């Protein structure tokens, strides 16, 4: 059986705030019975103060799904809607003294139900480009969808590269076969149906072909890109700063929840892709810790 | 109350008599059976006896048809890889979609290596279509591998009949009988089965000991090459204590075969009826009239299996589930999906598997414990309302994504 913390067990055996909430004025449904996880979050929001006066849940799911739901209702009761929106899935997991890597998605579901319920209260439509794949790397909790995205975005070809960007594969090595399969699949897709596509399509703009920017223009562009990403990072309790530009190496400082978390490498990969597009040249985004000492 | 163990298809308690039989072989008789001196000869005799005890349980013609291995998984791998290597002109393996991962993962890998694998589908009750099977038997098939009994539902496949059909076309037949051996009678000498896998820890012998039965005359290639142990068919110094315990356990299994098929079956049926009489929206999966006497797999709709197991565990009851969450994948058990069990039920399947240690009092206790657990979880479920599932669950619960 899973290594559940005492807190998870406690919330599973004695769930708080379970069952329907008659006075609910914001309801969020996420998940489905097909996936084996479904959660309905019901909020009673005070329209004058925009605070959550009560929160209930109904969950179909495993022990950690029920515990995550219970924890979420406890966390958000009494919060303003704006504060509640800042609750991250990591907050839910932390509240429960952690969840096994295979179960982190239960806390993600809790956060999504919260967003859906608040959107429902505000009369907005909430949709999520939610896509979750089978867990490939158990050591670092990386799923197939994330690996595919990163491989495609960064044109990766080897397990070592995937490990560099996502950490997947950097532990016990059990997932190397799975990562290789993903690489092979994407390689086949890249090759496409032989006759139709032109033989060798450059996947990224050639550095030489890109218009030369001055250093100031480059830094301005880089700042613009970082600015556009910042809200997303802040939502996850993180932030990013530009530290130094040295040729094609761009050093940034990831802060808050992003730094050191399992997703750091993929966050950097995502920023890098955006910068390559914006600058029209191949650059490498590196954490500041990689900056040569003498620089 | 003592904890109640109803997970005997996962593993079993080693019979005290088997423990007693093996202990001297750690200490007094620690010798290597291959040695000439006296330390070895005592061990050699004991191994011979164990081989005969297993031979008797399987109803094999010769004791040399018994090869000791390290586990059921090794026996499975040895069988299939041997068939492919011994017959390089044949490149196809026929198996079924409901096999244990010991077979399925190997077959998936073989496919990647370029072999052709046909996985026979099953119907709603987990049964095979024998006419389709017959039509797939051709000269390119190196081996058919079909499990004797399914580990999740206990459903029995007609392997004796299937082996005859394969033999008629000159095709080798292997059966993963890890769950069947010791629970149902068998007589391999009267069958056309060429190879059979068994695993000690499913029949009250220790973990880490298995057997590959290899019919005399069947072409064979070893998996492990090295010394001449097991006549060179499985190199590596024999795990003598475990082999000797397995021999004793095989003897005991044979003695209890009647009990298994009368008393254990009665308790299993009582458990099943007792639960279903109190819990609505629940049903037994698999081929109910044709399954192992000790296994019962119940699907509880609108609840999730892992949550059930945690609550059972809290009450001191051990069982297992085919839910996605217990396997760490997103899909519920491949066996349940293969039978077309709807998702509303597949995530909530619970397997109870009994043994000769199971008592009537334990069964009575479980019959009492299960219904409130299901009711408690259904109360939490957005798909459940008062006394039944919400009408039109897909509409009542409208997720932002699915
Ligand atoms: C049908 C079946 N085959 C093979 C195995 C694997 O046996 P072992 O654990 O000895 O490798 C099992 C055990 O779970 C099983 O149920
Ligand atoms: S599972 Fe990926 S490194 Fe261990």
Give the tens place of pLDDT for each residue, A64-75: 999 999 999 999
Catalytic residue annotation of A: 35, 106
Rounded distance between C-alpha atoms, residue B96 and residue B129, angstroms: 11
One domain, residues A145 and A46: no
Q: Which residues of B touch A116 (CB under 8 A)?
A: 400
Rounded distance between C-alpha atoms, residue B66 and residue B64, angstroms: 5
One domain, residues A114 and A46: yes
What's the confidence (pLDDT) of residue A2? 63
Q: Distance (Å) from the C-alpha of residue A158 to the closest C-alpha of chain B?
A: 19
Domain C-terminal end among A89, A121, A153: A121
Q: Which long-range contacts (CB under 8 A, 24 or more apart) does B235-238 make?
A: B237/B32, B237/B34, B238/B33, B238/B43, B238/B47, B238/B68
Kindly give the distance from the C-alpha atom of residue B348 to the centroid of ligand 2, in angstroms, as a whole number.
Answer: 29
- Say whether A116 and B400 touch across the interface (CB within 8 A): yes
- Say whether B328 and A30 touch across the interface (CB within 8 A): no
What's the confidence (pLDDT) of residue A255? 76
What's the confidence (pLDDT) of residue A109? 86
Q: Which residues of B touch A38 (CB under 8 A)?
A: 382-383, 397, 399
Say if A257 falls within a structural domain.
yes
Question: Is pLDDT above 50 for A208?
Answer: no
Name the token pair of B156. Answer: 């029995």
Q: Which residues of B touch A130 (CB under 8 A)?
A: 400-401
What's the confidence (pLDDT) of residue B104? 96
What's the confidence (pLDDT) of residue B285? 97
One domain, residues A267 and A183: no
What's the confidence (pLDDT) of residue B327? 56
Query: Residue A102, SS3?
Result: helix
Q: Which residues of B touch A37 (CB under 8 A)?
A: 304
Rounded distance between C-alpha atoms, residue A20 and residue A43, angstroms: 10
Q: Which residues of A touch B324 (CB under 8 A)?
A: 35-36
Residues of chain B with pLDDT under 70: 324-330, 392-396, 398-402
Rounded distance between C-alpha atoms, residue B317 and residue B315, angstroms: 6
What's the confidence (pLDDT) of residue B197? 98
Say if A56 falls within a structural domain.
yes
Say if A206 falls within a structural domain.
no
Question: Is pLDDT above 70 for A207?
Answer: no
Query: How many contacts, defined by CB atoms under 8 Å, are there between A and B?
Result: 106
Say if A197 falls within a structural domain.
no
Q: What is the CATH number of the domain that holds A238?
A: 3.30.300.130
pLDDT-derived band at A244, boundaries 50, 70, 90 = confident
What's the confidence (pLDDT) of residue B399? 67
Q: What is the mean pLDDT of chain A?
A: 82
One domain, residues A19 and A109: yes
pTM of the model: 0.80
Q: Which of A33, A35, A103 has the CB atom closest to B330's CB atom?
A: A35
The architecture CATH gives domain B256-391: Alpha-Beta Complex (3.90)
Q: Distance (Å) from the C-alpha of residue B155 to the closest C-alpha of chain A?
A: 25
Q: Which of A9, A38, A138 has the CB atom closest to B397's CB atom?
A: A38
What's the confidence (pLDDT) of residue B237? 96
Q: Does ligand 1 lie within 6 Å of residue B204's CB atom?
A: no
The percent of residues above 70 in pLDDT, for chain A, comes to: 85
Query: So what's the ipTM on this one?
Result: 0.81
Query: Residue A8, SS3?
Result: helix
pLDDT-derived band at A230, boundaries 50, 70, 90 = confident
Of the listed ligands, the closest to the CA of A135 is 2
- Say whether A58 and B402 touch across the interface (CB within 8 A): no
Evaluate whether B268 touches B70 at the Cβ level (below 8 Å).
no
Catalytic residue annotation of B: 325
Q: Which domain holds residue A116?
A: 6-121
Mutation for testing the A interface, residue in B109, B281, B301, B306 having most A CBs under 10 Å = B306
CATH number of B16-255: 3.40.640.10
Of the listed ligands, the closest to the CA of B151 is 1
Rounded distance between C-alpha atoms, residue B362 and residue A13, angstroms: 23
What are the CA-CA distances from residue A21 to residues A58, A200, A282, B328, B390 (Å)? 10, 59, 54, 32, 16
One domain, residues A174 and A242: no
What's the confidence (pLDDT) of residue B402? 44
Rounded distance between C-alpha atoms, residue B17 and residue B5, angstroms: 20
Residue B262 DSSP code: I
Question: Is pLDDT above 50 for A295?
Answer: no
Domain C-terminal end among A60, A95, A121: A121
Q: What is the CATH number of the domain that holds A161?
A: 1.10.10.1100
Kindly give the distance from the C-alpha atom of residue B329 to the centroid of ligand 2, in angstroms, as a whole number.
Answer: 15
Say if A198 falls within a structural domain.
no
What's the confidence (pLDDT) of residue A200? 41
One domain, residues A140 and A87: no
What's the confidence (pLDDT) of residue A76? 95
B318 CB within 8 Å of a chain A CB: no
Lowest-confidence segment of A14-23, A161-170, A259-268 by average pLDDT: A259-268
Q: Does ligand 2 lie within 6 Å of residue A262's CB atom?
A: no
Query: Where are chain B's structural domains?
Result: 16-255, 256-391
Question: Is pLDDT above 60 for A137?
Answer: yes
Q: Which of B302, B305, B380 has the CB atom closest to A66's CB atom?
A: B380
Question: Is pLDDT above 90 for A191?
Answer: no
Residue from A100, A141, A174, A179 to probe ligand 2 pocket by mutation (most atoms less than 8 Å from CB)? A174
Q: Distance (Å) from the C-alpha of residue B350 to the closest C-alpha of chain A?
A: 13
One domain, residues A150 and A91: no
Rounded distance between C-alpha atoms, residue B248 and residue B250, angstroms: 5
What are the CA-CA distances from residue A256 to residues A112, A239, A261, B201 (Å)? 21, 6, 9, 50
Q: Which of A36, A60, A133 has the CB atom closest to B382's CB atom?
A: A60
Of the listed ligands, the closest to the CA of B174 is 1
What's the confidence (pLDDT) of residue B37? 86
pLDDT-derived band at A257, boundaries 50, 70, 90 = low
Rounded distance between C-alpha atoms, residue B374 and residue B370, angstroms: 6
Kindly give the distance from the C-alpha atom of residue A23 to the centroid of ligand 2, in angstroms, as a whole number.
Answer: 46
pLDDT-derived band at A212, boundaries 50, 70, 90 = low
What's the confidence (pLDDT) of residue A197? 40
Mean pLDDT of A170-193: 89
B302 CB within 8 Å of a chain A CB: yes
Mean pLDDT of A136-155: 88
A45 CB within 8 Å of a chain B CB: no
User: Bigger pLDDT: B392 or A133?
Assistant: A133
Kindly give the distance from the C-alpha atom of residue A166 to the centroid of ligand 1, in angstroms, as a whole number.
Answer: 34
The domain tally of chain A equals 3
Positive or negative, the CA dihedral A17, A21, A24, A29 is positive
């Amino acid at each position: 059986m899973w290594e559940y913390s005492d807190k998870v067990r406690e919330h599973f055996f004695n769930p708080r705030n379970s069952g329907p909430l008659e006075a609910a004025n914001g309801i969020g449904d996420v998940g489905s019975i097909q996936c084996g996880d479904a959660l309905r979050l019901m909020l009673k929001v005070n329209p004058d103060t925009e605070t959550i006066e009560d929160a209930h849940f109904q969950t179909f799911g495993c022990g950690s799904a029920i515990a995550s739901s219970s924890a979420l209702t406890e966390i958000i009761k009494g919060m303003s809607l704006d504060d509640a929106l800042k609750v991250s899935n990591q907050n839910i997991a932390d509240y429960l003294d952690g969840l096994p890597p295979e179960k982190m998605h239960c806390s993600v579901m809790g956060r999504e139900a919260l967003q859906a319920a608040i959107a429902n209260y505000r009369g907005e439509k909430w949709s999520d480009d939610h896509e979750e794949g089978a867990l490939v790397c158990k050591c670092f909790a990386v799923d197939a969808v994330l690996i595919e995205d990163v491989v495609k975005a960064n044109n990766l070809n080897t397990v070592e590269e995937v490990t560099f960007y996502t950490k997947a594969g950097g532990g016990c090595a059990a997932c190397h076969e799975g990562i290789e399969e993903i690489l092979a699949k994407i390689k086949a897709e890249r090759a496409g149906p032989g006759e139709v596509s032109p033989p060798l399509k450059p996947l990224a703009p050639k550095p030489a072909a890109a218009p030369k920017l001055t250093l100031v223009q480059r830094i301005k562009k880089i700042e613009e890109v970082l600015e556009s990403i910042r809200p997303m990072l802040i939502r996850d309790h993180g932030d990013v700063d530009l530290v130094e530009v040295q040729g094609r190496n761009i050093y940034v400082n990831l802060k808050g929840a992003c730094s050191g978390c399992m997703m750091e490498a993929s966050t950097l990969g995502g920023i890098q892709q955006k910068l390559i597009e914006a600058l029209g040249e191949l650059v490498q985004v590196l954490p500041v810790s990689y900056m040569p000492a003498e620089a | 109350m003592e904890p109640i163990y109803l997970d005997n298809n996962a593993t079993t308690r080693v019979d005290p008599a088997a423990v007693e039989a093996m202990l001297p072989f750690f200490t007094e008789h620690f010798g290597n059976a291959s040695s000439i001196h006296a330390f070895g000869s005592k061990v050699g005799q004991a191994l011979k006896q164990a081989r005969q005890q297993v031979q008797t349980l399987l109803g094999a013609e010769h004791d040399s048809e018994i090869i000791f291995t390290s586990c059921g998984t090794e026996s499975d791998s040895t069988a299939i890889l041997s068939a492919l290597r011994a017959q390089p002109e044949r490149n196809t393996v026929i198996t079924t979609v409901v096999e244990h991962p010991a077979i399925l993962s190997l077959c998936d890998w073989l496919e990647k290596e370029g072999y052709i694998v046909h996985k026979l589908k099953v119907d709603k009750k987990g049964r095979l279509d024998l006419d389709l099977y017959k039509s797939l038997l051709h000269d390119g098939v190196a081996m058919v591998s079909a499990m004797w009994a399914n580990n999740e539902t206990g459903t029995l496949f007609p392997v004796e009949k299937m082996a005859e059909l394969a033999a008629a076309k000159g095709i080798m037949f292997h059966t993963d009988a890890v769950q069947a051996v010791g629970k149902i009678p068998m007589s391999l000498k009267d069958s056309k089965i060429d190879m059979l896998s068994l695993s000690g820890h499913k029949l009250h012998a220790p973990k880490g000991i298995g057997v590959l039965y290899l019919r005399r005359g069947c072409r064979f290639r070893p998996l492990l090459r090295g010394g001449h142990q097991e006549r060179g068919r499985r190199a590596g110094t024999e795990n003598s204590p475990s082999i000797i315990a397995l021999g004793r356990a095989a003897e005991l299994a044979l003695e209890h075969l009647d009990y298994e098929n009368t008393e254990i079956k009665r308790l299993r049926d009582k458990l099943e009826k007792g639960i279903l009489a109190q819990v609505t929206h629940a049903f037994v999966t698999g081929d109910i009239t044709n399954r192992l006497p000790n296994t019962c797999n119940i699907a509880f709709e609108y609840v999730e299996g892992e949550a059930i197991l945690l609550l059972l565990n809290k009450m001191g009851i051990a069982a297992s589930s085919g839910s996605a969450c217990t396997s760490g994948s997103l899909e519920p058990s491949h066996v349940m999906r293969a039978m077309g069990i709807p998702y509303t039920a597949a995530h909530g399947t619970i397997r109870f598997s009994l043994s000769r240690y199971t008592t009537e009092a334990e069964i009575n206790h479980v019959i009492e414990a299960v219904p409130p657990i299901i009711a408690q979880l259904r109360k939490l479920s957005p798909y459940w309302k008062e006394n039944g599932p919400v009408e039109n669950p897909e509409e009542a619960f409208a997720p932002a994504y699915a």
